[in-house]
Amino acid sequence: MELTETSPAERAAVLNAIGDELTAAAGELIPQARAETGLAEARLAGELKRTVVQLRMFADVCAEGEFLDVRIDDADPEFVLGPRPDLRRFNLPVGPVLVFAASNFPFAFSVAGGDTASALAAGCPVILKAHPGRPRLSALTAEKVRSALVRAGRPVETFEVVFASCRIHVLDLKQKNPGYVLDSTDMYQEGMFFPGSRLYRAGTPNQEIFDIIRFNSRMPERTIGDLQAQVSACVTGVRRTQELAAKHGADVLVSAMGSINDHGERLARLGLARLPRGTWSATDIVDSDGVDTDRHSVAGGVRSIEHGNLLDDDTATAMAAARAFLVPTLVAYDAMARRWQEAALSPVQRAKNAEVLDFGLRAVQRAQAAGVRVGFGTDLMADLEDDQLRGLELQAEAIGWRAALRSATRVNADLVGRPDLGRVEVGATADLLLLDGPLTDDETLLWDGTRNRTVIQGGVPK
């Protein structure tokens, strides 16, 4: 019998059976929860108990039946507006309920949490989207829920767990720091919090959500493009998963997924085991306006800062003391300034880009003066790759051609841990660039691609 066809007392029996299963499996569930969350055993034991209490509370509500909100209007042939038939009304389950497991409570708001309990109490089957941070615990808890369903004489299909995750880099949808931000100097640094929201309904975009995101981004069209790419990735993932299941069978597919996860975990544990003993730390800064800049990253052990456009004197001093590298990408902003029509930049975006480029030039000068090891980067790709030499010209404008050449060779080689690169000496591995004259007479030879030059690779001119 389907759950929708059961009586409230029968649903109460299902909920109590789930509570019994979870209680009996505490010795399995709590260690797995510790392994995936890092939470203390006492904290998890208390939450598991809370989860069981929730299930039993909903069972009691089921048994009482008040939630059905039964209304009975007896037939009344003498009703003032005319004879009235016997009318009866009560709540019925509407069908499957989709539940999204929360990130912060591995039991109470997860697979068998309050949302699942309330849906089952109402007589609705549940499809639960497991949280990606707890795949094994989610699968184990779901196994206990299904076992309880079978024991209570209900179809195992009453409860299904699905695993899916799609993470992307969104160009400009963030906040200045993780957590609650108090020292923002720009409205865009405050970020946004979205509860579970649907970007699409029945294949149609939820325009209000898209408009909120667009309004809160400095690069709205590119940010919306990133989100639409994520939607496409999800659609493609669904289609390919269905194709694989049809070709190999669902059981084989699930087994293969488990094997891949197990293999990845083994590799990760082997990598961790090879690390020397010691104290490890890291700091992640999402965005910055110069108030915090990158010194938090340096203090956390980061030894290479990319972009660094908002570098201040204190951070430059800290980077020099820590022997950290700065890898500027000045030409990325210069290319967008010159080719703004191709990039479809709005006037506001162009002004912001020009400001960032100016800050970046001064940051490179500041880092060089402080003794920071300045490398060279471009961040160019696809149609913008032909602007690579312009990057050398910009860096030479900031710190001189000798320092710029050293950044692109010796410093970058040191950054990637290759002392055999970036040097012209015995035993080194390098390509050679022969220019049509000395740089001391004409430094533009370094970046002027129209001038005569010869590249020697492996001893052979190209």
Domain 3-162 shares a fold with domain 295-430: no
Q: Round to whole Å and give the CA distance between 376 and 405.
A: 9
For the entire predicted model, the pTM comes to 0.49
What is 3-162's CATH topology? Aldehyde Dehydrogenase; Chain A, domain 1 (3.40.605)
Per-residue model confidence as pLDDT tens digits over 367-403: 999 999 999 998 887 677 778 889 999 999 999 999 9
Q: What is the CATH number of domain 295-430?
A: 3.20.20.140
For residue 290, name the pLDDT band (cuts at 50, 70, 90). very low
Per-residue model confidence as pLDDT tens digits over 168-223: 777 666 655 554 455 566 666 666 666 667 888 888 989 998 998 888 887 788 88
Q: Where are the domains of the chain?
A: 3-162, 187-274, 295-430
Q: Round to whole Å and give the CA distance between 53 and 69.
A: 24
- Average pLDDT estimate for 239-245: 91
Report pLDDT for 453. Answer: 83
Q: Name, in order, each residue with C-beta under 8 angstroms of 203's C-beta and a sequence gap of 6 or more.
A: none
